Amino acid sequence: MLQRNLGAMHVAALLVSASYGVAFLLGSGEMAVHSGMAGSLYAIITALGMLALAVVAPTLWRGRELIWDVLGEHYGPVVRKLVALLSLIWMAGVLAAQIHGGIAVLVAVGLPATHALAVIAATLLVMSSIELGMAAMLFACCLLATNLALVHALVASHGLTVYLHAWPSFLQETHAAPRAETLVTIAAVGFLVITGSDYQQFVIAARRPRDAWLGCVLASLLLMVTGFLPAATVVAALHAGKLSGLTDTASAIPWIMLQTGRSAGLTCISVILLAALGSGTAIARAMSSALEGLHASEGRYGYASRLLIIAIGCAIATDGQAIVSTIVSLNVVYVAAVGLLFLFHESGRQVAPRCASAMLLSGAIVSLLVSAMNWTGIGHLPAWFPLPAGLFASACVPVAWQFAPLLGRVRS
C-alpha cells in the first residue's frame, strides 16, 4: 500500500500526470486531424470523470482498497483475482498507448522506431521507481512547460479564436460524430476514471479525505483548461497549412513543435515526452499493484514485475491502431466484464460468488471474441459492438442463475 503523505496539490499533479499522457496529448491531436475539436472527447470525458471521482474520494480514502479488493471482499478471492487480471488487461492497453505515442515523438525527430522503443521502455522502467512526492513536482513542472509550448504553437498559428470557441465547436462536432461509437468511448473512458486503480492509488495515498477530493477537483479543473489545447493547436495548424506532408497523424503535435524552430522544437518535444511518460509511470505502478493483488503477495515482484509489464506494453504497442483506439478497445473488455457486477455492488444487489465469477468471465470472453472478429475483419461487425455484446453476456448469467433452481425442480 502507498504511504499516505500526499497533499491536495500532489494528488492533483499525479492525477493529471496519469491522465495527461500520450493518449490525452498526442491521441487528441491525432483524432483532431480527422475530427476537429471532437478529438478532445477523451480529454473532456477524463476531466468530467475526475469530478465523479471527487464525489467518491472520501469513501475510497477511508476504505483504503482498490476495486479488486472491494469486490473481492463481497464475492470471494476468485473474483478478486479475476478483477485484478482484467485490470491488467485494460492497463496494458493504456501503457501500450503511452509507448506508441512516445515512439511517435522520437521517430518525428529522426530516431529509428526500434531504437525509440528501447529508449521509451528503459525510461519507463527507471521512472517507475521514482518516489511519488518528487515525481509529482517533476511532472507538474513538465506539464506547465508542455502547456506553455502548446499555447505558443497555438498563437503562432493564429489559433486563439479556435481555443476560445472550443466548447461550442466540441459540442457541435461531437454531436455530428457517429453516436454509438461516441457513447462507447464515453463509457469506456469514464468508467475507468472512476474505478481505475491508476487513479485510485493517488486518492488513497492522500494525507486526509479533504486532500483526496480536493485533489480530484483541482485535477478536473486543470484538465478542463488544458483538454482543448492539443486539438485546438492541431486545428489551427491545419488552417495555417502547417501539417502539409504529415504522414503519421500520431506525430501531429511533435510535427507542429518542430515547426517552431529546430532547437526550440526539440526542447518542447523533450518536455512533452517527459510529461507524457508520467502517465506510463503511473500505469506501470498500478499494474505492478494489480499483479501483486493477483498473487496476494504485496511487494514480492518489484523490479521483475515492472520489467515484465513494460515488455507486455511494448508488444501491444505494435498493434497498428490509433492511440486512443488502443486504449478504448481494451477498456471495453474490462467494462463489459466488470461494469454490471460493479453496478450490482453499488446498488446493494447481492449475487452468489460463483455467479459473480461467471459474470466476469462471460463478459470478458464475449467482448474479446467480438473484438477479435473486428480486428480480423470477420463478420463485418460495427466497431462499437464489443461493449453491448459483453454486457449482454454478463447480464445473462444472473438471469440463468435464478432460473437454474426452477429448472432443477421441474426436472425432478
Using alpha carbons, list the distances in angstroms from residue 103 to 277, 374, 404: 11, 25, 52
Residue 12 has pLDDT above 60, yes or no: yes
CA distance 276 to 230: 13
Q: How confident is the model at residue 254 (pLDDT cuts 50, 70, 90)?
A: confident
CB distance 279 to 129 below 8 Å: no
Residue 296 has pLDDT above 70, yes or no: no
Among 24, 141, 103, 96, smallest CA distance to 284 is for 96
CA distance 51 to 58: 13
Q: Cα(first)–Cα(last) distance of the chain, in Å?
A: 51
Is pLDDT larger for residue 274 or for residue 323? 323
Q: How confident is the model at residue 132 (pLDDT cuts 50, 70, 90)?
A: low
Is pLDDT larger for residue 198 or for residue 350? 350
- Name the one residue in this structure whose C-alpha cell is 461487425: 381
Percent of the chain residues past pLDDT 70, beyond the cut: 88
CA distance 116 to 277: 13
At 336-350, the pLDDT tens digits run 999 999 999 988 888
Residue 134 has pLDDT above 50, yes or no: yes
CA distance 210 to 217: 11
What integer pLDDT is reported at residue 295 of this predicted model?
63
CB distance 197 to 290 below 8 Å: yes
Average pLDDT score over the chain: 85
CA distance 407 to 412: 9
DSSP 173-239: HHHHS-HHHHHHHHHHHHHHHHH-HHHHHHHHTBSSHHHHHHHHHHHHHHHHHHHTHHHHHHHHHHH
Cα 300 from chain centroid (whole Å): 26
- Name the one residue in this structure whose C-alpha cell is 455492488: 345
8-322: what CATH class? mainly alpha
Is pLDDT larger for residue 159 or for residue 91? 159
CB distance 193 to 49 below 8 Å: yes
Length of the chain counted residue by residue: 412
CB distance 393 to 364 below 8 Å: no
Domain residue limits, the chain: 8-322
Mean of pLDDT values over 397-406: 80
75: which residues sit within 8 A by CB, 6+ positions away? 341, 351, 353, 356, 357
Max avg pLDDT among 86-100, 129-143, 215-229, 293-307? 215-229
Q: Which residues pair with 300 in a beta bridge?
A: none
Residue 290 has pLDDT above 70, yes or no: no
What integer pLDDT is reported at residue 1 of this predicted model?
46
Residue 39 has pLDDT above 70, yes or no: yes
CA distance 118 to 123: 9
Residue 407 has pLDDT above 60, yes or no: no
Residue 412 has pLDDT above 60, yes or no: no
CB distance 276 to 21 below 8 Å: yes
CA distance 251 to 230: 12
Among 68, 82, 84, smallest CA distance to 359 is for 82
At 182-191, the pLDDT tens digits run 999 999 999 9
Percent of the chain residues past pLDDT 90, beyond the cut: 40
What integer pLDDT is reported at residue 352 of this predicted model?
92
Q: How confident is the model at residue 2 (pLDDT cuts 50, 70, 90)?
A: low
Q: How confident is the model at residue 410 (pLDDT cuts 50, 70, 90)?
A: very low
Mean of pLDDT values over 106-133: 81
Is pLDDT larger for residue 186 or for residue 143? 186
- Name the one residue in this structure whose C-alpha cell is 511532472: 139
Backbone angles phi, psi at 206, to 5 degrees: -70, 155
370: which residues sit within 8 A by CB, 6+ positions away? 381, 385, 386, 389, 390
